[in-house]
Structure 1
Amino acid sequence: MPYVDQVALDFPDLTIVCGHIGYPWTTEMIAVADKHANVYIDTSAYTARRYPRELVDYLRGRGRRKVLFGSNYPMITPGQALEHLGELGLDEETTELFLSGNARRVFSL
């Protein structure tokens, strides 16, 4: 995590997707994603129920275009990872961006 900011500065055209929510530096990861247009956060290795509160708040607000769903398959299946997605209180557009829209845009799919 400490080097992501510098890498993003040195390579502004490089798309950087930081895994595992940046844990244990979630707050710092959010700050770096806010600072750099080319930096994103993925949720691999976590189920929706375990997302840190600050990530959920970010996803509901200004970070709705900066967070990508990840499951960590085969350790955590997509079904397991999303079992409690409805409890996050995401609106329909944010849910679509999180589950597929952001990845499609970021990776030009």
Structure 2
Amino acid sequence: MTSAFSAIDTFAGLPAYYPPQLLHFMRTYGQDKVLFGSNFPQLSLKKCLEQVRALELPPAIADKFLQGNARRVFGL
């Protein structure tokens, strides 16, 4: 059986280095498909979250990215 769900996560990379294509995807048709990951403790969670804020994502999209998509996918 295959799942109809697919997602992209962002672990092991600082948000300041996300490629423009990923940011476009996150802001448009992929906003329900990208999960935040920090690779903590190798990357500082505080630094990652500061850089996410600097991306200036619309609030609803930032919420999906930081928690909403993971809650939906993992049934939390």
SS of residue in 1 equivalent to 2:7: strand
Q: Distance in 2 between matches of 1:87 and 1:53?
A: 14
Greater relative CO (CA pairs within 8 A, separation 6+)? 2
Q: Distance in 2 between matches of 1:96 and 1:55?
A: 16
| Residue segments in structure 1 that go unaligned for 5+ positions in a row | 1-10, 14-36
Q: Distance in 2 between matches of 1:42 and 1:54?
A: 14
Q: Distance in 1 between matches of 2:73 and 2:45?
A: 20
Partner of 2:2: 12
| Residue segments in structure 2 that go unaligned for 5+ positions in a row | none
Moved segments of 4+, more than 6 Å: none
Q: Cα RMSD between the aligned structures?
A: 1.2
SS of residue in 2 equivalent to 1:84: helix
SS of residue in 2 equivalent to 1:100: helix
Report the residue type matching 1:107 in the other structure.
Answer: F
Partner of 2:6: 39
- The normalised TM-score by structure 2 is 0.90
CA displacement at 1:48 relative to structure 2 = 1.0
Q: Among residues 76, 90, 102, which one is paired with 2:43 in the alignment? A: 76
CA displacement at 1:90 relative to structure 2 = 0.9
